[in-house]
Structure 1
Amino acid sequence: MKPIVIIILLLWSFNISAQKKYQRDYFDDGTLASEGWISNNQKINYWKYYHANGQLKSEGHYKKNERTKYWRTYRNNRTKESEGHYANGNKNKWWLFYDSEEKINHKCQLKNNQKNGYCLMYRNEKLVSAVKYSKGKKIKEWTDYQSFRKENSLKDLK
């Protein structure tokens, strides 16, 4: 009888620790630092992070403690800083980067947190150059659309 009670208590305590719960973390002054879902001591689903001044810093999804899907980051004055895709905890695919007025400054193709593909550079919302990268290293830069178009396929920009 006694071993059965111990087994039941162990199973019950394991079940409670495996349940999904909403977690909030705070800065030392009591301001909310982050909030989101935890399961089996791992971040899952939707999370938000905050600057010390209380403004939203970043938001996005987790899967088994790794960032995944689409994320957005913000400056402490609420302006958008960047947004893009994560896969297996790494920045991948297209990422958009904004200036202090929330105009696109540049957008880049990333793979495993490195520039890998094209980066399109903007000034006052106008395309001024394109740069090609491979594993974080700059390969070539174009400063006019005609030369870029002549040497590249636009389907590479997908």
Structure 2
Amino acid sequence: MKKGFYILLLFTFFQVSGQKTYLKEHYDNGKLKSEGWLNQTQKVDYWLYYFENGNKKEEGHFINNKKCKWWIFYNSKEAISKKCEFENDQLNGFSVFYKNNQIIRVEKYFMGTKSNEWNSLKEFKKDNKLNFL
């Protein structure tokens, strides 16, 4: 009987402690500042951040409070300014920079250190066989 009680207690603890919650933070003016998923105190999954005017500022994935995968960054008018790949909260992969919805530069990073740069899409495509652009 005691063994069953302890198993039930452990199951309940792990079930509650593993639940995610959706958090929304606001500026003093009431506008949304950020929103996304928390697993206990760690940011996980998809998050969105906003400028004080309400426009999107950046969005992307977290694993254990660290940026990962692709992130999109916007200017204050909500136009995309860059898209960057992250791993373990560091730039790792490509960073693609935009102006007027056109690619103007691409940089490549390895764990936070820039390893290459292309100042035109033509140069980049010549050196890289990628289908995402």
Q: TM-score, normalised by structure 2?
A: 0.82
Greater C-alpha radius of gyration: 1
Percent identity of paired positions between Structure 1 and Structure 2: 38
Q: Which of 111, 117, 129 in structure 1 is aligned with 2:105?
A: 129
Paired with 2:84 and 2:97, the residues of 1 have a C-alpha distance of: 9
Task: Give unpaired runs (5+ residues) of structure 1.
Answer: 1-13, 19-38
Write the letter of the residue equivalent to 1:145: L
Instruction: Out of 59-68 and 97-106, give the one that drifted further.
Output: 59-68
Deviation readout 1:62-102 (Å, 9 max, x if unpaired)? 11321111100001110110000111111100000001110
The equivalent residue for 2:21 is 45
Q: For this pair of structures, how many residues does the alignment match?
A: 122
Paired with 1:141 and 1:119, the residues of 2 have a C-alpha distance of: 9
Offset of 1:131 from its aligned partner?
A: 0.4
Paired with 1:44 and 1:137, the residues of 2 have a C-alpha distance of: 33
Write the letter of the residue equivalent to 2:45: K
Offset of 1:43 from its aligned partner?
A: 8.4
Write the letter of the residue equivalent to 2:30: G
Local SS of the residue matching 1:154: coil
Offset of 1:53 from its aligned partner?
A: 1.4
Q: Which of 37, 41, 62 in structure 2 is aligned with 1:61?
A: 37
Offset of 1:125 from its aligned partner?
A: 0.9
Q: How does 1:1-158 map to 2 (within 5 A)?
A: 44-154=20-130
Q: TM-score, normalised by structure 1?
A: 0.70
Larger RCO, structure (CA 8 Å, separation 6 or more): 2
Task: Give unpaired runs (5+ residues) of structure 2.
Answer: 1-8
The equivalent residue for 1:11 is none
